[in-house]
Structure 1
Amino acid sequence: MTKKKLIETSLPLEAINAASAREKSIRHGHPSTLHLYWSRKPLATARAVLFAQLVDDPASRPEEFPTTAEQDAERARLHALMEKLVVWENSWDEGLLRQARDEIRKSNDGRLPPVLDPFAGGGSIPLEAQRLGLEAHASDLNPLAVLINKALIEIPPKFAGMAPVNPDARDQSLYQRAEGLAADVRYYGQWMRDEAERRIGHLYPKVTAPDGTEHTVIAWKWARTVKSPNPANPIEVPLVNSWWLSKKKGKEAWVRATVRGGQVHYEVVHSADGPRGEDEWTIKHGKGAKAVGDGTPFSYDYIREEGLNGRIGSHLIGIVAEGQRGRLYFSPSQDHVAAAQVARPDISVDGQIATNPRWFSPPAYGKKYFSELFTNRQLVAMTTLSDLVAEARERVVNDALPKGLPTGDRLEAGGNGAQAYADAVATYLALGVSRTVDYCNAMCSWHSGRDTIRNIFSRQAIPMVWDYAEVNPFSGSSGNFLGQVEWVVKALECVPASACGTAAQISAVERDYSGLVVSTDPPYYDNIGYSDLSDFFYVWLRRSLRDIHPTVVSTMLTPKADELVANPYRHDGKEGAERFFIDGFNSVFARVRQGDNQAVPMTVYYAYKQQDAEADGTSSTGWHTLLDGLIKAGWEITATWPMRSELTNRMLSQGTNALASSIVLACRPRPVDAESTTRRAFVARLKSELPGALRTLMQGAIAPVDLAQAAIGPGISVFSRYARVREADGSDMSVKDALLLINATLDEVLGEQESDFDPDTRFAVRWYRSYGWATESSGMADQLARASDTSIGALERGGIFEAKGGKARLLPPAELQDAWNPASDERLSVWEATVRLAAVMDDQGADAVAQLLAEARDHVNLDAVKELGFLLFHEAEKKNQAKDALLFNGLVSAWGDIAEQARRIDPSSRSAQAAFDFNEEE
């Protein structure tokens, strides 16, 4: 009999989600900064999911934990360990990681199982498997993903603990992970930068200030141009989204454009009194374009026609330079225009941009090849840096041999001597060059609010940019080459390198899954064009790494025909794309099911977006495809968990219905002899099992905002354990209909809680459900009060209701702001306690709530207060009352910590509470 794992029962979801959200603010040293990849999973999420996937739930070990209380206590201990484990600063706490490994061994017959992600992408899951001491396996069809995973999990352990070989390295024996390798990447990166500047530095002249001082240029601001369609004034018109260079207070700068002698002249003005409104642009999405000088309007269609005929030019409109106290802005000069006019270098590797306007708009304007996204000067810089990788590699070999390293085989052949080590250093240098490409292209814009350059991939697409910033790769500011190498170095210094890892280029449909635990983040239907986007970097990586990773970069562009993405441009329209994705997806998970690891569930991530929601409360094609594909491939889904990298309060405060940014599913192989059932029997089983599962969820560390999604787990588990569920007409029930039934059952279960509440609370819940905080007739209130076994007078004495002049209403939180002492409240209902505590949580924070809980615990059932918080969140969300949902979610999300704090408080030590400062309009 298989043992249930922790992920199939309970998770400290709030702690995981908080750590995942916090990761977004961590930059230097975070492994995601090694190289850009799309939609990576937060490391905290991956680490927590792997641990919970591999560790037994206490209830599955009754010989050790025979009672419910002992199981709850052990579960709480494991949750506490996980809450520490997900904290970024604990990523290198060897003592804590050792505890985690011991727990994994205890649940897996004394061993640490190997883990595979067959859609490895940016590498979060394999990296965290390695951090937990597990043998990590990563595979992907995309060569960019394979290179990233090699750099994260395969190369660092091979050279862990090794001292650097460069001539300036100091002798020391303190290297534990890949710090020595990182030091060499930094050293040879500096050599590449200096050598490149020696060869092409003259193409990047300094700018001379009016006082005669010279300054290093950070970026040149250019505007694309087209000829004005006005035949009476056919000037070259600059296409500018904003004339502003800097909007920082006291340092404002903008470009003034004037027409003189049939040409546009540009002057940088230092003044806060710059262009506003319609004067700030000459091209704007939704409004078209206009000519400077005479204001002649023209359309995007006209610009496209000019672009397709090769008639888009460019003008230098401003220069940004380094100053002692920030940025300096200069008017363009002919010398700097001339410096950029260099011959186009030989581009041996180029690629055609995908003609998919959803992700790429440049082809519509005549820019059909990746090389056309660069100026000639940028192409010179990038080819120079790319080719210097091979030269740097030879220097590493020559420096390593005198340090005692044997020559050995190359890295791809499995070597670990000087040749392989030089290949390793070159790999990271090439990633540094590739990172530079993100900034050193003609699709980067200038951010006038932050005085810095925006990289091309500010989102998962390459849009057309009209006024672009050309970065200086030899400056000390944004986008410079050495800065990009430093990002790579800091990431390398922080990878665990604690267990062996492998990264292979292979299709998920073809690879072997024997003996491997699978945790994976597959492509999200049609959300991201991974291979098409990757080509932008791949053409440069291939130029640098053809002799170092010849197998990985063997193709001219990234493989696309077999990429598991629903791309209508590649698969004969929307229906063909859907069919391709579903067939491929089902094939992958049918093959995974043939693996022989039955003791551990598989975990699968799904990126759930706000716009996936449909009006009936279910979700769109991608989500249904995932569930349907897994079930048809023979999997039983045993849990679903919402994983967020956005803080709950932020999502709710923005008025969203707070759908998760990812859902993690736990899945086990369904027995081949699984029975079929009827709709009636399925509904009966659902109503039998779901209430208990929901109560377990609500008693654990889950927020109300996540309950509906988490409830799908036990619900879809019932559905997926059957070979089929037959409708009354004999057809098979669809996943969509099953989800509707699960949602309806959730409503019923939460609604049934009302019968356990006191009469005043039952009345208030029913009133809130119908009228919220609005005013209605006293007659309606009287009828509902009688039906709830209470009265209007009793409700008024309870301090939660008001009736006068034939009108009645529930008192909103803003009006429950008088000083309140639960111990002296003569008619304290669960409703009053819940609403007041939620109000205090929102206004004064957790400490104030804990003090009140300490006083209220002998006068009201606190478990009922928490249950009502769940119910009221659910009702507020259905009514689209984001403010109320935020209020009740805030209280229940922090309940565990608050309750623990309250247990340590002596209520007699508290003085009378001050009045609440609650403004409902804020």
Structure 2
Amino acid sequence: MSNIKAPKKLIEVALPLDDINAAAAREKSIRHGHPSTLHLWWARRPLAAARAVLFAQMVNDPGGERGWTSTKTKEQAAKEREELFDIIRDLVKWENTTNEEVLERARKAIRKSWRETCELNKGKPGFDPDKLPAFHDPFAGGGAIPLEAQRLGLESYASDLNPVAVMINKAMIEIPPKFAGRPPVGPLPPGETNLDLKETWPGATGLAEDVRRYGHWMREEAFKRIGHLYPKVKITEDMAIDRDDLKPYVGKELTVIAWLWARTVKSSNPAFSHVDVPLVRSFVISSKKGKEAWVEPIIENDKYHFEVRIGKQPSDAIKGTIVRGGATCIFSKTHMPFKYIREEGKAGGMNEKLMALVLEGSKGKIFLSPTSEMKEIVSKSVPQNVPETQLPEKALGFRIQEYGMLKFRDLFTTRQLTALSTFSDLIQEARNKAIEDAKNQGMKDDDLGIDAGGVNATAYGEAVAVFLGCAMGRACDYWNSLATWESSGSFIAHAFTKHAIPMIWDFAEGSPFSCSSGNWLQTCLNWVIRVISFFPAISNGYAIQQAAQSQSISKNKIISSDPPYYDNIAYADLSDFFYMWMRRSLGSIFPDLFSTLATPKKEELVATPYRHGNKKKAENFFIAEMTKAIQQMAKNSHSAFPVSIYYAFKQSETNKDSTSSTGWETFIEAVISAGFSINGTWPIRTERANRGRAIGANALASSIVLICKKLTSTVESISRRQFQRELRETMPEALEAMIGGSNGVSPIAPVDLAQSAIGPGMAIYSKYEAVLNQDGSKMSVHDALIMINRAITDHLHPDSGNFDADTLFCDDWFDQYGWKEGPFGEANVLAQAKGTTVDGVATAGAVTSGGGKVRLLKWSEYPEDWDPKKDKRTPVWEACHQLIRELNQKGETDTGRLLSRMTDKGEAIRQLAYHLYTLCERKKWAEDARAYNELISSWHAIVDAAGRVDQGGEQLEFEF
């Protein structure tokens, strides 16, 4: 609808980016109650970022630009914008996630903006002031964005091709509102009383309580059936010989926390080719200070067994048998390359050998040597009807197939398969029990299941089963032979610590019935219960299985989405690990969703060469299908709102030439081809790692949120020269707004500037039908990105500003030599060209010169007693590095005091720091880049501190 009047949204103008990024970073360390702990999914966006982006996407910018006229003054608009920023600052705090007062302030602002928009479009379809538009995420994945849309008061739709993702979203947004406010129906676990029960059950707390009760029931039932496979260990006097830590437990039976296993293959040495030798990273099983323990292989002729030793591992002990190039035979010390180990695995020659047991003691964990009886117990477990899902022949992040593991069941011990099968089957029994209990408590029943839209007894029992299925997902992550024993903390670490299924040599098998890591109640069930209570359970939610390329759910809806990254995560292949058990537990409840033996692969939007034949075909598939998916967004999205699309940016995508990569360029090409113009880019920190410490790494560190508007009419093409001219005219102002922190926002850090500045550059490129090269061909996104990055570099370069000659010399010398020495003659020629001398720069204190060599001083070498008021020659270069020294040695307040003594240089220092960061990043000088990034990141605090310095009784004011 081309005649829609769409006020510019806040996200198109400004964001309090520092506050959002700080909250997103903090959230990564929060686990208890966080939705990410409901069920594992890969590369979720932080809730804080999703919430902030959605809010800013829906509220009108007070400046009154595009589509409506405002009578506000610039000052009034700035004041109102700051009020919206304050809402965002409160909104993104983790502790306010369920704070109704804060959330209602946000919802009120959203409703107000919507009414303004409806007033401008009175009488037009889709503009009902009393009903907010619904929300849709066509790549819902882990569900963070649909959940936050629901929290902000929107009816929320989530769709995904992957059934595991759909189930996660059903659990988060679809099921809780259906049963909000209902009391629990199940009986309390044995030993509990009604004394502390609540009178009211707000939100989904009643549902959460029932999940707890039926989860406890499952644990008791499972123990009756398979408890004999997890017997306690009685400590005997013989065991306690030479073991003071065991003596207090003699005669007592202790619960086993974990069995520690080593994989084995036959030795490659002919003399020991009949012996299964261990493949172990490290024989240390506890490195805690004062509680050290290790395992010693005791060799007797051609046999060996393991014994636990208490204390630090001696220096002459075997540290492990796995090294970078392969393994070592403990008998002959023969090297066994990985090629040999793989061949053994494929021939069926890989087995396991028990190394140690970990027991629950009253004063901590007890480590015990294995006995023959303990080993025999495992052979008693015979799993029934285990899913036979095949592992992919080849997949990103998979290594295990090379060792003969061809089915997902091969990733579990027989006892683990038995436990998972037992608990899976009990979910159906718990469902039936919950339905009967609900009926007995007076709940109506119409035999309508939850998949058919039911809200009564049958649907309620199935809702309980869904969350028990989520607890099963957590169990799968721990009850497998890829889980490791963490010696530093003495706990079992779950398998999916990375987006991969690598080979694990020594692994930990936990007990479902212990009270330590990996058990059913604390590790699996309780984490799910905490999350259910956290869900907003307001507004309707719908989770649907649908490919993004063909969906029409987005019609007239607000859209924000996080599509799969180009080639980083094999979502479908990885999720089959969970799907096989989820299908067994919940397949009868959602027959259509679980109709296939494995997750759909053909339509999955990931550029995987092994699936499409080669890298080029994979790229072609990705761009064609992603374009279709984004076309659906452009075609169907609500005309009054921009669309926000997350792109998981790789640090390696910033290189010496530009901020670009095949994935990045391909993605932008898909967005533009779909009919969007890109009107802004915001870098959101979505990973825990410090980005400044990982320059050059290939980790996903930030998400670039693209703000897209659909083009309503075709605009003519322009020439390459015209594009360059528009960049020159537009980029300086846009960059200064980012660097200077206009609209009341703190400046964008140098580490994020290159990605942020792509927005205004691509806004020019994407608003035209084409940018034409001199030969008439269409300029590629790659070439456009190079030109945009060149405009950034040109603007930030000291030659483009009013910098002194000494600084211009230092900058060029730094570009050539960094902090290394260079020949005096070359320095002298350069200095003359810049209008200075080497001696002059040395007098200024920026370089050291002697012996025919010249070297720039590092910031740490600058004198601490420096006073710019007394320095007769102070180049901006020197002032910048003095501030870095002061910041690192004394902090922001003292740095502000130093800045207050050279206020005339503030702007130039800031611009130089941006430029030097960009230079260092592209040269992969991580430590140096960090110093400049930290100066700019602290700039507002430094300026505030400088402004508070009293000089002759007057308060200083800064406008840097």
TM-score (norm 2): 0.89
Kindly provide the amino acid, as one letter, of the partner of residue 502 in structure 1.
Y
Which 5+ residue runs of structure 1 have no aligned equivalent? 911-922
- Superposition deviation, residue 470 in structure 1: 1.4
Aligned mate of 1:139, from 159, 179, 195: 159
- Superposition deviation, residue 520 in structure 1: 0.8
Moved more, 207-216 or 736-745: 207-216
Moved more, 462-471 or 66-75: 66-75
2:864 counterpart SS class: coil
2:787 counterpart SS class: helix
Q: Using a 3 Å threshold, how does the CA distance of structure 1 residues 176 and 847 change in structure 2: closer, same or farther?
A: farther
Aligned mate of 2:365, from 319, 322, 327: 327
Name the structure 2 match of 1:8. Answer: 12
Mapping 1:36-185, distance limit 5 Å: 36-61=40-65, 63-64=69-70, 66-109=72-115, 112-168=132-188, 172-185=198-211
Structure 2 CA distance, aligned partners of 1:818 and 1:160?
A: 63
- Superposition deviation, residue 244 in structure 1: 2.0
Q: Using a 3 Å threshold, how does the CA distance of structure 1 residues 306 and 659 change in structure 2: closer, same or farther?
A: closer
Q: Deviations over 1:616-652 (max 9, x none)?
A: 3343221111011111121111112222234785533
Please say if residues 227 and 235 of structure 1, whose CA atoms lie closer than 8 Å, have aligned partners that are also in contact. yes
Structure 1 CA distance, aligned partners of 2:502 and 2:403?
A: 11
Moved more, 840-849 or 64-73: 64-73
Moved more, 859-868 or 286-295: 859-868
Aligned mate of 1:204, from 226, 230, 246: 230
- Superposition deviation, residue 573 in structure 1: 2.7
Computed over aligned residues only, the root mean square deviation of the Cα atoms, in angstroms, reads: 2.8
Q: Using a 3 Å threshold, how does the CA distance of structure 1 residues 308 and 644 change in structure 2: closer, same or farther?
A: same
Kindly provide the amino acid, as one letter, of the partner of residue 396 in structure 1.
A
Name the structure 1 match of 2:326. Answer: 288
1:453 equivalent in alignment to 2:492: yes
Name the structure 2 match of 1:919. Answer: none
Kindly provide the amino acid, as one letter, of the partner of residue 801 in structure 2.
S
Q: Using a 3 Å threshold, how does the CA distance of structure 1 residues 56 and 829 change in structure 2: closer, same or farther?
A: farther
Aligned mate of 2:525, from 479, 482, 485: 485
Kindly provide the amino acid, as one letter, of the partner of residue 456 in structure 1.
A
1:868 equivalent in alignment to 2:916: no
Q: Deviations over 1:279-317 (max 9, x none)?
A: 322333x32223222233333333333333323222222
1:539 equivalent in alignment to 2:580: yes
1:393 equivalent in alignment to 2:438: no
Structure 1 CA distance, aligned partners of 2:21 and 2:946?
A: 24
Aligned mate of 1:651, from 665, 674, 692: 692
Aligned mate of 1:246, from 273, 286, 301: 286
Q: Using a 3 Å threshold, how does the CA distance of structure 1 residues 172 and 443 change in structure 2: closer, same or farther?
A: closer
Which 5+ residue runs of structure 2 have no aligned equivalent? 116-128, 189-193, 241-249, 955-960
Kindly provide the amino acid, as one letter, of the partner of residue 385 in structure 1.
F
Mapping 1:221-232, distance limit 5 Å: 221-232=260-271
Structure 2 CA distance, aligned partners of 1:901 and 1:63?
A: 39
Structure 2 CA distance, aligned partners of 1:803 and 1:304?
A: 59
Name the structure 2 match of 1:845. Answer: 891
Please say if residues 16 and 89 of structure 2, whose CA atoms lie closer than 8 Å, have aligned partners that are also in contact. yes
Q: Using a 3 Å threshold, how does the CA distance of structure 1 residues 125 and 582 change in structure 2: closer, same or farther?
A: same
Mapping 1:456-467, distance limit 5 Å: 456-467=495-506
Mapping 1:559-638, distance limit 5 Å: 559-595=600-636, 597-613=638-654, 616-638=657-679
1:219 counterpart SS class: strand
Aligned mate of 1:432, from 468, 471, 489: 471
1:888 equivalent in alignment to 2:897: no
1:316 equivalent in alignment to 2:332: no
Structure 2 CA distance, aligned partners of 1:375 and 1:771?
A: 57
Please say if residues 637 and 720 of structure 1, whose CA atoms lie closer than 8 Å, have aligned partners that are also in contact. yes
1:345 equivalent in alignment to 2:383: yes
Q: Deviations over 1:881-903 (max 9, x none)?
A: 33332222112112223434544
Please say if residues 556 and 638 of structure 2, whose CA atoms lie closer than 8 Å, have aligned partners that are also in contact. yes
- Superposition deviation, residue 493 in structure 1: 1.5
Q: Using a 3 Å threshold, how does the CA distance of structure 1 residues 834 and 112 change in structure 2: closer, same or farther?
A: farther
Moved more, 727-736 or 408-417: 408-417
- Superposition deviation, residue 319 in structure 1: 0.9
1:298 equivalent in alignment to 2:343: no
Structure 2 CA distance, aligned partners of 1:300 and 1:845?
A: 51
Aligned mate of 1:711, from 757, 782, 794: 757
Moved more, 87-96 or 166-175: 166-175
Q: Using a 3 Å threshold, how does the CA distance of structure 1 residues 872 and 314 change in structure 2: closer, same or farther?
A: closer
Name the structure 2 match of 1:412. Answer: 451
Please say if residues 798 and 808 of structure 2, whose CA atoms lie closer than 8 Å, have aligned partners that are also in contact. no
Structure 1 CA distance, aligned partners of 2:847 and 2:349?
A: 72
1:860 counterpart SS class: helix
Name the structure 1 match of 2:737. Answer: 696
Structure 2 CA distance, aligned partners of 1:661 and 1:564?
A: 20
Please say if residues 824 and 854 of structure 2, whose CA atoms lie closer than 8 Å, have aligned partners that are also in contact. yes
Moved more, 761-770 or 695-704: 761-770
- Superposition deviation, residue 762 in structure 1: 5.0
Q: Using a 3 Å threshold, how does the CA distance of structure 1 residues 603 and 292 change in structure 2: closer, same or farther?
A: same
Please say if residues 651 and 694 of structure 2, whose CA atoms lie closer than 8 Å, have aligned partners that are also in contact. no
Q: Using a 3 Å threshold, how does the CA distance of structure 1 residues 468 and 791 change in structure 2: closer, same or farther?
A: closer
Please say if residues 299 and 331 of structure 2, whose CA atoms lie closer than 8 Å, have aligned partners that are also in contact. yes
Name the structure 2 match of 1:217. Answer: 256
Kindly provide the amino acid, as one letter, of the partner of residue 140 in structure 1.
D
- Superposition deviation, residue 756 in structure 1: 3.1
2:501 counterpart SS class: coil
Mapping 1:500-519, distance limit 5 Å: 500-512=540-552, 513-519=554-560
Structure 2 CA distance, aligned partners of 1:254 and 1:697?
A: 55
Aligned mate of 1:374, from 402, 412, 427: 412
Q: Deviations over 1:331-362 (max 9, x none)?
A: 11121111111253222533111111543223
- Superposition deviation, residue 797 in structure 1: 7.0
Q: Using a 3 Å threshold, how does the CA distance of structure 1 residues 267 and 755 change in structure 2: closer, same or farther?
A: closer
- Superposition deviation, residue 460 in structure 1: 1.3
Name the structure 2 match of 1:915. Answer: none
Structure 2 CA distance, aligned partners of 1:657 and 1:508?
A: 27
Structure 2 CA distance, aligned partners of 1:316 and 1:225?
A: 10
Moved more, 748-757 or 313-322: 748-757
Q: Deviations over 1:175-215 (max 9, x none)?
A: 33212211111111111111111221111011222322221
Structure 2 CA distance, aligned partners of 1:258 and 1:804?
A: 64
For these two proteins, the number of residue pairs brought into alignment is 906
- Superposition deviation, residue 271 in structure 1: 3.0
Structure 2 CA distance, aligned partners of 1:177 and 1:842?
A: 48
Structure 2 CA distance, aligned partners of 1:765 and 1:539?
A: 59
1:190 equivalent in alignment to 2:190: no
- Superposition deviation, residue 464 in structure 1: 2.2
Q: Using a 3 Å threshold, how does the CA distance of structure 1 residues 77 and 753 change in structure 2: closer, same or farther?
A: farther
Kindly provide the amino acid, as one letter, of the partner of residue 142 in structure 2.
G
TM-score (norm 1): 0.92
1:30 equivalent in alignment to 2:34: yes
Kindly provide the amino acid, as one letter, of the partner of residue 99 in structure 1.
R
Name the structure 1 match of 2:706. Answer: 665
- Superposition deviation, residue 485 in structure 1: 0.6
Q: Deviations over 1:367-422 (max 9, x none)?
A: 21112222221111111111111121222223223433212432112122222211
Q: Using a 3 Å threshold, how does the CA distance of structure 1 residues 889 and 400 change in structure 2: closer, same or farther?
A: same
2:560 counterpart SS class: strand
Structure 1 CA distance, aligned partners of 2:495 and 2:819?
A: 48
Kindly provide the amino acid, as one letter, of the partner of residue 149 in structure 1.
N
Name the structure 2 match of 1:675. Answer: 716
1:490 counterpart SS class: helix
Q: Using a 3 Å threshold, how does the CA distance of structure 1 residues 818 and 897 change in structure 2: closer, same or farther?
A: closer
- Superposition deviation, residue 90 in structure 1: 1.6
Identity rate, percent: 46
Aligned mate of 1:856, from 901, 919, 925: 901
